[in-house]
Chains A and B, each alone.
Chain A
Amino acid sequence: MKRKPYVVFIMSLILALIVSACDNAGNSDSSSKKGNDREIVVGLVSEPDSVDIHRTSSTGEANIPLYDTLLKLDNDGNIVPNLITDYELIGDGKEVIFNLKEDAVFHSGKPVNAEAIKLSFERLISSSPFSTNAGEVESIEVLSEYSFKIKWKDQFAPFFINATTPFLAPLDVSVLDAKGEGFEKNPSGSGPLKLVKINRGDSLVYEPYKDFWDGQEPGFDSVKFRFIPDEETRILEFKKGNVDVLLDVPYQYIEDLEKDSEVTIKRVQSDTLSYLGWNNKLPIFQDVKVRQAIALAIDRDSIIDNTLKGEAQAVFGPLPKTVFGYSEKIETMAREKYTRNTEAAKKLLSEAGWSETNKDGVVMKDGEEFSVDLWVDDDPANQRAAQVIQNQLMEIGLKITISVKESATIIEQTPKGAHEMLLWSFGWPDADVLNFLLFGKDKSKRLHYENEKIYSLLEKGAIEMDQEARLMLYEKAQEMLVEESPFVPLYVKENVTAIRNFDSFEIHPINNSIEWTSVKVSE
């Protein structure tokens, strides 16, 4: 019997449909419906590339709770013991003895003892791209089961702050394969949440770690971190009740969500400082008067209101409030010096030789107009901020052309000095960040600024083990930075989180992470 051609076609389609419909094996169920009443669903933008803290380039809510840190910051920003009971500086501070708590246990059931910490640090130092956070470690010595000593080649004061971050948190090396890898599939940390399921590209499912050393009864049964990249979809999932915790609420939706009586909005100031920077090696930025004029032309409140719906705090000094090294005195000084004053800015430009203007109102010097490219990433809020900055600088005659670049391009190209101006940000809880990110020989990153005096102060700050003396050094360095104005600090954004149905839910005011041990869902 002759088969009709279209029958073949339709049969092929139906067969393919059946085959594919049967193929659900191995795929995760990431449906919007919640598994049980005490399951918490957290909606966030992107998946961490790995849960292995020695490998990942993205730490966030979805992988941090796996780890517990040696030290932690209290709500006032003081460094306090966490996995350790105490520590003791030996001699000039190149050696420190740490004594561990004896009741901390990894998720694998193995104790968090000195040997485990040593192995974890050795892996960090030998193979992690983030080993610089530990400083130049000469040796790690196990003194007893719960006591170990770290010896550095030179004093390394930022260690104590760095040890409050997950980058230096111990991981259980015993779960690794022969190559020292495989942690991303079989993770074992000692944090308040234990990873139970990895659905790549979709979600990470945790349960409260029952043997966590604080001994508190968990206020929930499980946490699912769902990765929902699209803004609108994420909001709709939250509004529909399929997501209980919405991280990084886009600013334009806050007002709408606040109208819902069941929703609570939590605001915590970020430790990431957005700034307007430039390549200080370029001749156009060599004159300090030009740099100061740019700082005087910026109206931070206008940027915050127009681009961030007011959800940010203006910052005038080089460090935001949440960072060790912040000084109220410096902030006040910078605010007084650089509160917007376009007349003063024009005067400074004129003194710097930028006195003529062309027909477009752009200032000129030796027949050349002041015209630079401003690099900004593809974040819409940053692009809007760039537009406001462009208008504000045009008011004093500086012509800015906005150039949108991918983040990966900016990260790679700016240390090479390929840029002129950039709108970027940095975030680290210690003032050493200034040395590391912005200045210093051989590691000048984005701003290509060189100043021996400031560099020397920052280097001293990195090895000064006395915290008060350290603060003094950073204050002095910041005072000079305010005067020199090699970049314009702009603002720190508010991290906005929307939650629903919780009796207790706290976010750490300094490091912005959820305090899982105190979270309790409503009955």
Chain B
Amino acid sequence: MSSYLFKRFTTMIITIVGVSVLVFMIIHLIPGNPVSHILGDYATEESIKELEMRLGLDRPILVQYFSYMFHAIQGDLGTSFITGYTVVEEILNRIPITAQLALYSIIFGSIIGILIGVIAAVKKNTILDQLAMLLALVGISAPGFWIALFLILLFSYQLSIFPISGYSGFYSLILPSITLGLGTAGSIARMTRSSMLDVIKQDYIRTAKAKGAGLFRLVFMHSLQNAIIPVVTLIGMQFGYLMAGAVVTETVFALPGLGSLIVSAISTRDIPTVQGLLLFMAAMIIIVNFVVDLLYTKLDPRIQYE
């Protein structure tokens, strides 16, 4: 296990370094620079050069990269060119909202997705199965902003059950979590159905049925525990999707999370913030997937990492 962990850590570090190079290159390649944005219409050649020098943007790109990484390793992701806040401050300020949003969405998506997937598998080729898969398809294909507006109009504007926008604790995250979780639920439902169908064909299920196991026991005790492994993998992979989805959801619900921060940082070419955020998000996705891999050994004792 320790050698596996060592290998995984090494891979994780290489991946993060790779991501940092990629992010650095992309952000410097796209047209539009922060100096032009900051100075806007009132810039002169002199003021552009002076500000570039002050921000360190006049140095060779490799020097900029190594200087950035040197500080990043020490936990210093730089200071925003635009806002004057440190990137770490900005992330710490906003991560609670995005983390909660991602988590509630995963929970919502997992519960609904697994439930629908199980029902579809158990009631295979019935109207219930077709209905469940239709729902899953809607969840996957409906655009996030459309679902968000629909939910706001119904539950916030007409029925006044939830706030329309803004953050005021758990209550205000219910609609955004549903918006974001529906896509996840759709994917999980399809995966659960397919995985369950493979499992319930197996001999030990037939044996359990022959021994008189009830439907609940048969489905949740015998089938689901073996069918859940690919579903857990999918949940880990959905984390990246949720981070991307948070951008739209946070914008529509006016939530001050990482998604809305990255939108404004990109539009203002705020290089330190974009770099820091992307690096942070990439690290989060890598860590979550690592945790998911470790979770396999708990879910299925037959899986051992050597």
Interface positions of A (Cβ within 8 A of B): 4-6, 8-9, 12-13, 16-17, 20-21, 23-33, 46-47, 49-50, 52, 55, 57, 127, 129-133, 181-184, 199-203, 226-230, 232-233, 236-237, 239-240, 242, 406-409, 411-413, 415, 426, 428, 436-437, 442-443, 445
1/0 contact string of B30-44 vs chain A (CB within 8 Å): 111100111111111
Q: Are B41 and A426 in contact (CB under 8 A)?
A: yes
Q: Are B40 and A57 in contact (CB under 8 A)?
A: yes
| Contacting residues, chain A, for B224 (C-beta < 8 A) | 6
- Of residues 251 through 289 on chain B, the ones whose CB sits less than 8 Å from some CB of chain A are 251-257, 260-261, 263-264, 267-269
Tell me if B172 is interfacial: C-beta within 8 Å of chain A. yes
| Contacting residues, chain B, for A183 (C-beta < 8 A) | 84
Q: Are B261 and A17 in contact (CB under 8 A)?
A: no
| Contacting residues, chain B, for A17 (C-beta < 8 A) | 103-104, 107
Which one of A27, A201, A229, A233 contacts B152 once the chains associate, using CB atoms below 8 Å? A233
Complex: A84 Cα to B285 Cα, angstroms: 57
Seed contacts A32-B165, A202-B167; 11 additional CB < 8 Å A-B pairs: A5-B225, A9-B295, A21-B100, A31-B166, A49-B83, A55-B84, A132-B44, A230-B254, A408-B269, A412-B37, A436-B42
Q: Are B232 and A9 in contact (CB under 8 A)?
A: yes
Q: Are B298 and A8 in contact (CB under 8 A)?
A: yes
| Contacting residues, chain B, for A133 (C-beta < 8 A) | 42
Distance to closest chain A CB from B251 (angstroms): 5
Given contacts A4-B225, A30-B256, A200-B85, contact A57 B166 (CB under 8 A): no
- Of residues 83 through 107 on chain B, the ones whose CB sits less than 8 Å from some CB of chain A are 83-85, 90, 93-94, 96-97, 99-100, 103-104, 106-107
Given contacts A408-B268, A412-B33, contact A443 B163 (CB under 8 A): no
Tell me if B194 is interfacial: C-beta within 8 Å of chain A. no
Complex: A297 Cα to B224 Cα, angstroms: 70
Q: Are A32 and B163 in contact (CB under 8 A)?
A: yes
| Contacting residues, chain B, for A127 (C-beta < 8 A) | 54
Tell me the dominant secondary structure on chain B's binding face: helix
Tell me if B244 is interfacial: C-beta within 8 Å of chain A. no
Tell me if B82 is interfacial: C-beta within 8 Å of chain A. yes
Tell me if B47 is interfacial: C-beta within 8 Å of chain A. yes
| Contacting residues, chain A, for B103 (C-beta < 8 A) | 16-17, 20
Tell me if B76 is interfacial: C-beta within 8 Å of chain A. no
| Contacting residues, chain A, for B232 (C-beta < 8 A) | 9
B contact residues, range: 35 or more
Pick the 3 closest A-B CB pairs, nearest first. Answer: A201-B256, A31-B168, A408-B32
Q: Are A33 and B163 in contact (CB under 8 A)?
A: yes
Which one of A229, A236, A415 contacts B156 once the chains associate, using CB atoms below 8 Å? A236
1/0 contact string of B46-64 vs chain A (CB within 8 Å): 0100010010000000000
Complex: A200 Cα to B167 Cα, angstroms: 12
Q: Are B164 and A413 in contact (CB under 8 A)?
A: no
Distance to closest chain B CB from A309 (angstroms): 22
Q: Are B45 and A442 in contact (CB under 8 A)?
A: yes
Q: Are A229 and B149 in contact (CB under 8 A)?
A: no
Which one of B31, B100, B252, B300 contacts A20 once the chains associate, using CB atoms below 8 Å? B100
| Contacting residues, chain A, for B238 (C-beta < 8 A) | none
Complex: A243 Cα to B78 Cα, angstroms: 36
Complex: A194 Cα to B57 Cα, angstroms: 35
Tell me if B221 is interfacial: C-beta within 8 Å of chain A. yes
Q: Are B97 and A229 in contact (CB under 8 A)?
A: no
Q: Are B256 and A200 in contact (CB under 8 A)?
A: yes
Distance to closest chain A CB from B121 (angstroms): 15
Q: Are A5 and B300 in contact (CB under 8 A)?
A: yes
Q: Are B90 and A57 in contact (CB under 8 A)?
A: no
Distance to closest chain A CB from B288 (angstroms): 11
Complex: A411 Cα to B48 Cα, angstroms: 13
Given contacts A13-B110, A201-B94, A233-B254, contact A411 B228 (CB under 8 A): no
| Contacting residues, chain B, for A132 (C-beta < 8 A) | 42, 44, 47
Distance to closest chain A CB from B115 (angstroms): 12
Q: Are B264 and A46 in contact (CB under 8 A)?
A: yes
A418's nearest neighbour on chain B, judged by CB, is B31
| Contacting residues, chain B, for A415 (C-beta < 8 A) | 36, 43
| Contacting residues, chain B, for A5 (C-beta < 8 A) | 225, 228, 298-300
- Kindly name the residue among B30, B163, B256, B260 whose own CB sees the greatest number of chain A CB atoms within 10 A: B256
Q: Are A202 and B221 in contact (CB under 8 A)?
A: no
Complex: A223 Cα to B209 Cα, angstroms: 67
A436's nearest neighbour on chain B, judged by CB, is B42
Q: Are B152 and A6 in contact (CB under 8 A)?
A: no
| Contacting residues, chain A, for B228 (C-beta < 8 A) | 5-6, 9
Tell me if B169 is interfacial: C-beta within 8 Å of chain A. yes
- Kindly name the residue among B82, B84, B107 whose own CB sees the greatest number of chain A CB atoms within 10 A: B84
| Contacting residues, chain B, for A32 (C-beta < 8 A) | 163-166, 168
| Contacting residues, chain A, for B106 (C-beta < 8 A) | 13
1/0 contact string of B134-177 vs chain A (CB within 8 Å): 00000000000100010011001100000111111110100000
Complex: A182 Cα to B89 Cα, angstroms: 13
A406's nearest neighbour on chain B, judged by CB, is B32
Q: Are A233 and B260 in contact (CB under 8 A)?
A: no
